[in-house]
């Protein structure tokens, strides 16, 4: 039997329930930023990004979250940067050397021995100069959030150790596609050979190059130690990694969301540095177990050989100014 009172009550209950559920939904709404990179999940930088994601969720009470896609799931490093620029991806991690293609300012970080030691490097990156560099690519729709330690790069070779610069003469050394990296190897007497990182193991194995240069964790995780049994810790460059966000995405965040994200990134920096130091120690121990001989050459002859590189930037006012400012940091 039709009962109008019962029908009205039912409609009212359903309406109130819908309003309640809708309100609950609003309470649990959150914004998710996608972060993609090419590193494995056991890498110290990935672990630091996981910490950042957890920290962001914590300080925002779940309102701002970061979803991480590791191991190249969303494309290569170059593809991730391109996705970032058009707003299809929020955050990615690149080497500071990659940033040279967006602004010349970053070239200064690739100069050999630009940092006196690790402490000096951290002071530069954490200070005014570092902040300027992070913001120097905004006109390319990229904004830096923070620098992560990527250690120091050193030479590893197949047939003989590099104990002094003269040992590099006539040797083909793989470098990143970076002008400063190529100029550095050339200044030391080697033949710089740009090869993509994914093709390097085969290039070493087949003798296309005589050696390469990288930090200890990368030397270990890439398994290049299976081919190269000599590792000379000359520590010629200390090129950091850069965590970057697309300017389109950044502009869409509220001031509060920007604050949460930046704080989470800043909080992840000391965590990453600790994880990196542990990884360096472990990596050197493991490659030695695998038969690699570690050399610690005198750095002075290397530093003397590359001095001219600094002066080659004298006519490039911005970069030369950065060189002088970095040298002045105490």
pLDDT of residue 241: 95
Domain borders along the chain are 29-150+239-283, 153-238+292-328
> Of 230, 232, 90, which is closest to residue 152 (Cα–Cα)?
232
pLDDT of residue 24: 33
pLDDT of residue 196: 84
Name which CATH class applies to 29-150+239-283.
alpha beta
CATH fold label, 153-238+292-328: D-Maltodextrin-Binding Protein; domain 2 (3.40.190)
pLDDT of residue 15: 35
pLDDT of residue 176: 83
How many other C-beta atoms lie within 10 A of the C-beta of residue 86? 10
Q: d(Cα 265, Cα 51) in Å, to the nearest integer?
A: 9
> Of 294, 298, 268, 297, which is closest to residue 280 (Cα–Cα)?
294
All residue ranges of the chain with pLDDT < 50 are 1-2, 4-28
- Do domains 29-150+239-283 and 153-238+292-328 share one topology? The answer is yes
Q: d(Cα 132, Cα 200) in Å, to the nearest integer?
A: 33
Q: d(Cα 19, Cα 245) in Å, to the nearest integer?
A: 37
> Of 268, 249, 33, 255, which is closest to residue 142 (Cα–Cα)?
249
CB 67 within 8 A of CB 34: yes
Q: d(Cα 231, Cα 294) in Å, to the nearest integer?
A: 5
pLDDT of residue 297: 96
pLDDT of residue 23: 30
């Amino acid at each position: 039997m039709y009962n109008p009172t019962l029908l009205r009550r039912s409609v009212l209950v359903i309406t109130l329930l819908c309003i309640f559920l809708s309100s609950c939904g609003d309470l649990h709404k959150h914004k998710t930023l996608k972060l993609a990179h090419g590193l494995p999940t056991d890498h110290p930088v990935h672990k630091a990004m996981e910490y950042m994601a957890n920290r962001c969720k914590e300080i925002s009470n779940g309102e701002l979250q970061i979803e991480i896609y590791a191991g190249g799931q969303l494309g290569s490093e170059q593809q991730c940067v391109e996705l970032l620029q058009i707003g299809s991806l929020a955050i990615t991690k690149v080497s500071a050397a990659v940033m040279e293609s967006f602004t010349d300012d970053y070239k200064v970080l690739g100069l050999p021995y630009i940092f006196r030691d690790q402490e000096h490097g951290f002071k530069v990156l954490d200070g005014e100069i570092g902040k300027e560099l992070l913001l120097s690519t905004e006109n390319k729709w990229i904004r830096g959030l923070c620098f992560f330690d990527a250690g120091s790069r050193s030479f590893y070779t197949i047939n003989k150790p590099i104990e002094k610069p003269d040992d590099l003469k006539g040797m083909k050394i793989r470098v990143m596609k970076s002008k400063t990296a190529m100029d550095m190897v050339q200044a030391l007497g080697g033949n710089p050979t740009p090869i993509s990182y994914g093709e390097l193991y085969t290039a070493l194995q087949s003798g296309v190059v005589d050696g390469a240069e990288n930090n200890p964790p990368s030397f270990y995780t890439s398994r290049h130690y299976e081919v190269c049994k000599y590792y000379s810790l000359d520590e010629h460059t200390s090129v950091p990694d850069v965590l970057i966000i697309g300017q389109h995405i950044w502009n869409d965040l509220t001031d509060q969301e920007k604050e949460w994200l930046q704080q989470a990134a800043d909080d992840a920096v000391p965590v990453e540095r600790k994880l990196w130091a542990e990884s360096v120690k472990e990596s050197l121990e493991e490659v030695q177990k695998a038969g690699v001989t570690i050399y610690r050459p005198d750095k002075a002859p290397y530093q003397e050989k590359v001095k001219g590189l600094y002066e080659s930037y004298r006519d490039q006012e911005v970069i030369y100014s950065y060189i002088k400012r970095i040298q002045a940091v105490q």
